[in-house]
Chains A and B, each alone.
Chain A
Amino acid sequence: MPRVTLEIFRGPYKPALASGIQIESCRLLTDLSLRSTGGWTVFRPAIVDTGAPVSLLPRRVWQSAEVHALSRIQVGGAVRKPECMLNVTLAVVVFAIRDAVSQLGPIEAHALLSDTDDCPMLLGMRGILSDLILHTDVSSGEAYLETASLLTTIPTRP
Chain B
Amino acid sequence: MSPTDSPPAPCQQYWLDRQWIHDNCSLLVATYANQWIAVHRGQVLASGHALGAVEDEAHAKSSAKDIVFQFIDDGSLIY
Contacts and interface: CB of A to CB of B under 8 A. Distances in A.
Interface string B37-50: 00000000000011
A96 interface: yes
Q: Is the interface of B mostly helix, strand, loop or mixed?
A: mixed
B50 to A, nearest CB: 4
Contact of A58 (B6, B28, B51, B79): B51
Interface residue range, chain A: 35 or more
Interface of A: 7, 9-15, 25, 27, 29, 31, 33, 35, 39-45, 47, 49, 51-52, 56, 58-61, 77-78, 96, 98, 100, 103, 105-106, 116-118, 120-122, 152-153
24 contacts: A9-B22, A9-B25, A14-B30, A14-B76, A15-B74, A15-B75, A31-B18, A35-B7, A40-B6, A40-B7, A40-B8, A42-B10, A43-B7, A44-B70, A45-B68, A45-B71, A49-B79, A51-B79, A60-B51, A78-B78, A103-B7, A106-B5, A118-B50, A153-B1
